[in-house]
Amino acid sequence: MSCTTFNLGGGSFKLCSIERGSQIKNRVRFFNGFVPNGRSNLVCNSASSFSVGSLSFNSLPPKDSRFHNRSRFSYHVINCSIVSSEASTSSSKVDDERVVVLVIGGGGREHALCYALQRSPSCDAVFCAPGNPGISSSGYATCIPELDVFDSDAVISFCRKWNVGLVIVGPEAPLVAGLANDLVKAGIATFGPSAEAAALEGSKNFMKDLCNKYGIPTAKYQSFTDPSAAKQYIQEQGAPIVIKADGLAAGKGVIVAMTLEEAYEAVDAMLVEGAFGSAGGRIVVEEYLEGEEASFFALVDGENAIPLESAQDHKRVGDGDTGPNTGGMGAYSPAPIVTRELQSIVMDSIILPTVKGMAKEGCKFVGVLFAGLMIEKKSGLPKLIEYNVRFGDPECQVLMVRFQSDLAKVLLAACRGELSGVSLDWSPGSAMVVVMASKGYPGAYEKGTVIRNLEEAELVAPSVKVFHAGTSLDLENNFIAVGGRVLGITAKGKDIEEARDRAYRAVEEISWSGGFYRRDIGWRALEKQVSLKE
């Protein structure tokens, strides 16, 4: 290995050429004598392009430098694309080995994906649009806050300029809007379904009809646009009963009505008062299933599917699973209820029939299928509650800290229809994430409260990661809360008990008077662990 040191904009960096067989790998390995997590970063104070021998460097500064000024090193940390004349004429085999990735989104899920990607051997650099201050300060990716992810032409132009070889779409809204359609048409590998396939999440009625057509076990249901007809059906079925807005409602369009009065109020709120806008213009009324919920994820390439490790989240806002549903107040992996036998049943009866059914319908699914399951109390068998067409949040956080395979390589294989035969590696033990939310969530909440001691929280244990979901920076570079769910405090342990202990010790380090969190994340898994020991 040969290295040369260069100076740029008041900073220094070291370029190392590493010979591997006939290939030469060029990496920026150090800057100002500091190596953050082994990342390949370059210090730049302004937009610049320069050459060193046969190598050309292009650095992209942030639109708002405050996004990159959080670290105690007081300079911008920018991922740079490195393009050599030799590489530009290399074979596709070399291109397959290394790729520049763009992650779409700016929440905790995307922070976790960037964390996993920066550990991927085949990933050259990571961009995230719009990203968030936590992603920027961590150095996992270069955030592009000015890129409009709903403007397909702008995203395509960015990908071509920066040689992006893989786009990972995190949130559901850009998928339903057709971003993946446009990227794939432009020849850019995209992990995420087309708008037609994203209807599995974008329309609960579409999903239920698919289940009905292809014999996928799910709760009995009827769809309505007329409130009187819906109420009559509810009266016939009785309570408890579930009312769902058909379209996307940010995880809040589901009402579990324990009485007929609550059910009627939910119908009026959606169909009469328009509480969820056009998303609630049609509703699905379905039977109440009793049992234990679990989250099941599978990677899909259009024809093949492989399961990820299991996870389980906590939807209710309060301890003891009380209060209204949220986007998720915490999660853990693995979920003891999802045994290997149950995993096989889910794949055979739910996931694979869905993949084949979507292909028959002319809209092959490429991406991650996130099945919300109910393991029925009476039968012990799984039924499909709903589908999401992207990684769950906060489940993604616990999955990504346990994921040990090359994420970029695996997701590229999915984009190319090459998942058959792919196996995944996971760290042993357990992981847990505790969500810290703004007081008042999921209702009205205050914005702008200051959050401190995040660095101290990550020092509680080597396995602790603080993923940002709803933060910004104030004029003094303090992290402030701007969302409902704001932070995901994530930790690994040899078992669920140790992961839980580390996560909550990290939570207690954080100073944030405007936040709250559940204190019982993982209680179901802990109960099962105790019962097994007994």
pLDDT of residue 530: 52
Q: How far is CA 277 from the centre of its chain?
A: 25
DSSP 196-211: TTTHHHH-HHHHHHHH
- H helical segments located in 246-351: 260-267, 340-346
CA distance 386 to 374: 10
Q: How far is CA 343 from the centre of its chain?
A: 21
Q: What is the DSSP letter of 515?
A: E
pLDDT of residue 266: 95
CA distance 431 to 11: 38
pLDDT of residue 11: 44
Q: pLDDT per residue over 237-258, tens digit each?
A: 999 999 999 988 766 788 999 9
The full set of domains in the chain, from first to last, is 1-31 (no CATH), 106-194 (3.40.50.20), 220-286 (3.30.1490.20)
Peptide bond into 324 cis (omega under 30): no
- Helices 227-237 and 260-267 cross at an angle (nearest 10°) of 160
Please count the CA atoms within 13 angstroms of the CA of 337 that sit on its side-chain side: 25
CA distance 278 to 363: 24
Whether the CB-CB separation of 60 and 90 falls below 8 Å is answered with: no
Whether the CB-CB separation of 485 and 108 falls below 8 Å is answered with: yes
Q: How far is CA 125 from the centre of its chain?
A: 18
Q: What is the DSSP letter of 272?
A: I
pLDDT of residue 55: 43
Please count the CA atoms within 13 angstroms of the CA of 448 that sit on its side-chain side: 3
Residue with tokens 């992990």: 191
pLDDT of residue 20: 34
Across 65-202, the runs of DSSP E, i.e. the strands, are: 77-78, 80-84, 99-105, 123-130, 142-143, 164-169, 190-191
Identify residue 448 by its one-letter amino acid code: G
Peptide bond into 171 cis (omega under 30): no
Longest CA–CA separation in the chain, Å: 78
| H or E segment to which residue 370 belongs | strand 366-376
pLDDT of residue 524: 80
Identify residue 186 by its one-letter amino acid code: A
Identify residue 346 by its one-letter amino acid code: V
Write b or e for each residue in 475-499: b if 16 or more Cβ atoms lie within 10 A of its Cβ, otherwise e. eeeebbbbbbbbbbbbbbbeebbbb
| H or E segment to which residue 367 belongs | strand 366-376
CA distance 198 to 177: 9
Q: What angle (nearest 5°) sits at the alpha carbon of residue 84, between those of residues 80 and 89?
A: 130
Across 288-365, the runs of DSSP E, i.e. the strands, are: 291-301, 305-307, 312-313, 316-318, 322-325, 330-333
CA distance 473 to 133: 7
User: Could you tell me the two tokens for 180?
Assistant: 């993946």
- H helical segments located in 288-348: 340-346
Whether the CB-CB separation of 486 and 79 falls below 8 Å is answered with: no
pLDDT of residue 533: 52
Q: pLDDT per residue over 267-285, tens digit each?
A: 999 999 998 998 899 999 9
Residue-level pLDDT, tens digit, the chain, 534 residues: 344 444 444 444 444 443 333 333 333 433 333 333 333 333 333 334 444 444 444 444 443 433 333 333 322 333 333 333 333 333 334 345 699 999 999 999 999 999 999 999 999 999 999 999 999 999 999 999 999 999 999 999 999 999 999 999 999 999 989 999 999 999 999 999 999 999 999 899 999 999 999 999 999 999 999 999 999 999 999 999 999 999 887 667 889 999 999 999 999 999 999 989 988 999 999 999 999 888 899 999 999 999 999 999 998 999 999 998 888 999 999 999 899 999 999 999 999 999 999 999 999 999 999 999 999 998 999 999 999 999 999 999 999 999 999 999 999 999 999 999 899 999 999 999 999 999 999 999 999 999 999 999 999 999 999 999 999 999 999 999 999 999 999 999 999 999 999 999 999 999 999 999 999 999 888 876 655 454
CA distance 112 to 469: 10
Residues in the chain, overall count: 534
- H helical segments located in 37-132: 85-88, 92-97, 108-117
Whether the CB-CB separation of 290 and 241 falls below 8 Å is answered with: no
Separation of first and last alpha carbons in the chain: 56
CA distance 28 to 14: 6
Q: How many CB atoms lie within 10 A of CB 307?
A: 18
Report CA-CA distances (Å) from 53 to 26, 56, 57, 85, 503.
Answer: 12, 8, 11, 10, 48
CA distance 447 to 438: 8
Q: How far is CA 499 from the centre of its chain?
A: 20
Q: Is the dihedral of CA 191, 196, 199, 202 positive or negative?
A: positive
